[in-house]
Chains A and B, each alone.
Chain A
Amino acid sequence: MWQTAALDPRTKLILVLTFSSLAVFIKNVYILFILLVVTLVAVRAIGGDLWSIFRKLQRFITIFVAIIVIQSIFTAHGHVILQIAQIRLLTDIGLLRGVQTILRFFIVIAAAVIMTTANPRDIIQGLIQWKIPYELAFMVTIAIRFLPLLQEEAKDTLTALQLRGVNLKKIPIFKRLKTYSYLLMPLLVSVLMKSRDLSVAMEMRAFRAFPQRTSLRELHFRRADYYVMLLSILFFLMLLFTAIKIS
């Protein structure tokens, strides 16, 4: 393999866009499956962590099962696979739609993992070189940087609330919404405080002091970048074409 670790962040962005937009367009389960395999191979080749994808998916398992059942119950046609009393719990069409959704989820999450292999500083630089305003590019990376932190904090806050003797499972449904609003409070506060600190720190370092910014580091596409981009565009067109032809 060529030196994939050194792929330009812009190339990675194009890959992510290719995979996730295909996942949205394509309906055919078989083509989706092929797309998934290709995405996983790409993640592997770029050095992404495949296990992290599975770990993320685990959390959605109940939702997936729910999707399959709901699709089965509310889609009138299709062969029944499992039926309890008058309720069609599992039909082939429900199953198909469910699998479709799962595959799409899988692909989008896997594609997102590609981005985590890029250095955030390089992502900003890449966006700037695409003539995206610096402020905007900066906001995007801040968001990427702070989301995992926020997730940690949300977990801690939930722990703190439970330690106060609140058992979410035992709170009556109509009060549960109120409980969630209590969870939101410390999170909001922390986000606001962080952004205030951050803006002060940025002012101190003269963010936007001059209209024109130059950077020491410039990104350059290498030959591998052109190959990967060309491949991904070809792949995009090919899959789209096949999908249109089949339907």
Chain B
Amino acid sequence: MISFQDVSFRYPRSKWLFKQLNLEIKQNLITFIAGPNGGGKTTLGKLMAGILKPEVGTVLVNGLNTKDVELAEIGAKVGYLFQEPERQIFAATVRDEIGFVLELHEIKQAEITAKVDAVLKQFQLEHLANLSPLKLSRGEKQRLAIAAIMVNQPRFFILDEPTTGLDQERKEILSSVIERLQDEGIGMVIISHDQYFMQRHAQQIITVVGGEIVDVANCST
């Protein structure tokens, strides 16, 4: 699904973060990326989604080179959840937040309504549909962000630290969301330090320290 071929990357005016990285992420697995702060987890996730482009080497998403395609094209296949949910909330109501991308794409109103309703129900956001997204709690905002990505029906998800700031109960809800996505055959990369969460969902764990992949472990759940 996502493959790194001799990828080297550095931020402008910094030293190399990744050098000659090779990596293969499979479509049908839940892969965790773990490691200490500043190890390069977020950067790795952004490279996977084409938000950042490698300076040397290629990143292929579904066979497409991230250097050659528009971000919107990758976005249609890969959903990306930012570490801060506020960054990706655009509309004035929860309902509009889920539907506005479809509206911009000139899909028929009836079809939009049906799709939005289905997603609202799936993510238990129906009672919040007409509220402003800014009034939601952190956990709800995050669920909304995932829901809004889901209307595009991506085949793959990258979640950056989805459990930070969630209490036990919200984590439980997030876990069930992840399991539901998994049942639908959607692959995932989850960036997280959360041990409990990792043990529960991980099928593969990649550990990144100082820009190096120090460990790739397969686990059975």
Contact digits for B80-108, partner A, Cβ 8 Å, 1 yes 0 no:
10100011111110000000110011100
Partner of B71, one of A153, A163, A179, A182: A163
Q: Which residues from A are CB-within-8-Å of B104?
A: 166, 171, 175, 178-179
**CB of B74 within 8 Å of the partner chain:** yes
Q: What are the nearest 5 A-B pairs in CB distance?
A: A167-B72, A163-B75, A162-B71, A182-B90, A160-B88
Q: Which residues from A are CB-within-8-Å of B79?
A: 163
Q: Which residues from A are CB-within-8-Å of B51?
A: 159, 163
In contact, B89 and A185 (Cβ under 8 angstroms):
yes
In contact, B86 and A186 (Cβ under 8 angstroms):
yes
- Closest chain-B Cβ to A83's Cβ sits at a distance in Å of 36
**CB of B68 within 8 Å of the partner chain:** no
* CA A163 to CA B148, docked complex, whole Å: 11
**A166, A170, A189, most chain B CB atoms within 10 A:** A166
In contact, A167 and B73 (Cβ under 8 angstroms):
yes
**CB of B149 within 8 Å of the partner chain:** yes
Q: Which residues from B are CB-within-8-Å of A182?
A: 90-91, 100
**CB of A96 within 8 Å of the partner chain:** no
In contact, A160 and B87 (Cβ under 8 angstroms):
yes
Closest-by-CB residue of B relative to A164 is: B101
- Closest chain-A Cβ to B105's Cβ sits at a distance in Å of 8
Main secondary structure of the interface of A (DSSP, over half): helix
Given contacts A153-B87, A172-B106, A185-B90, 9 further A-B contacts (CB under 8 A): A161-B88, A162-B75, A165-B105, A166-B72, A175-B104, A186-B88, A189-B86, A189-B89, A193-B86
Q: Which residues from A are CB-within-8-Å of B149?
A: 164
In contact, A159 and B71 (Cβ under 8 angstroms):
yes
Give chain A's interface residues, CB within 8 Å of chain B: 153, 156-157, 159-167, 169-172, 175, 178-179, 182-183, 185-186, 189-190, 193
Give chain B's interface residues, CB within 8 Å of chain A: 49, 51, 70-76, 78-80, 82, 86-92, 100-101, 104-106, 134, 148-149, 152
Q: Which residues from A are CB-within-8-Å of B73?
A: 167
* CA A161 to CA B101, docked complex, whole Å: 9
- Closest chain-B Cβ to A177's Cβ sits at a distance in Å of 11
A-B contact pairs, 20 of them (CB 8 A): A160-B80, A160-B87, A162-B70, A163-B49, A163-B71, A163-B74, A163-B88, A164-B75, A164-B88, A164-B148, A165-B72, A165-B152, A166-B75, A167-B70, A167-B73, A175-B106, A182-B90, A186-B86, A186-B88, A190-B86
Q: Which residues from A are CB-within-8-Å of B101?
A: 164-166
**B78, B79, B104, B149, most chain A CB atoms within 10 A:** B104
* CA A172 to CA B134, docked complex, whole Å: 29
Closest-by-CB residue of A relative to B80 is: A163
Q: Which residues from B are CB-within-8-Å of A186?
A: 86-90
In contact, B100 and A165 (Cβ under 8 angstroms):
no
Q: Which residues from A are CB-within-8-Å of B78?
A: 163
Q: Which residues from B are CB-within-8-Å of A159?
A: 51, 71
* CA A193 to CA B87, docked complex, whole Å: 13
Closest-by-CB residue of A relative to B78 is: A163
* CA A162 to CA B46, docked complex, whole Å: 13
Partner of A183, one of B49, B71, B90, B148: B90
Closest-by-CB residue of A relative to B158 is: A163
* CA A171 to CA B70, docked complex, whole Å: 14
* CA A103 to CA B170, docked complex, whole Å: 57
Q: Which residues from A are CB-within-8-Å of B86?
A: 186, 189-190, 193
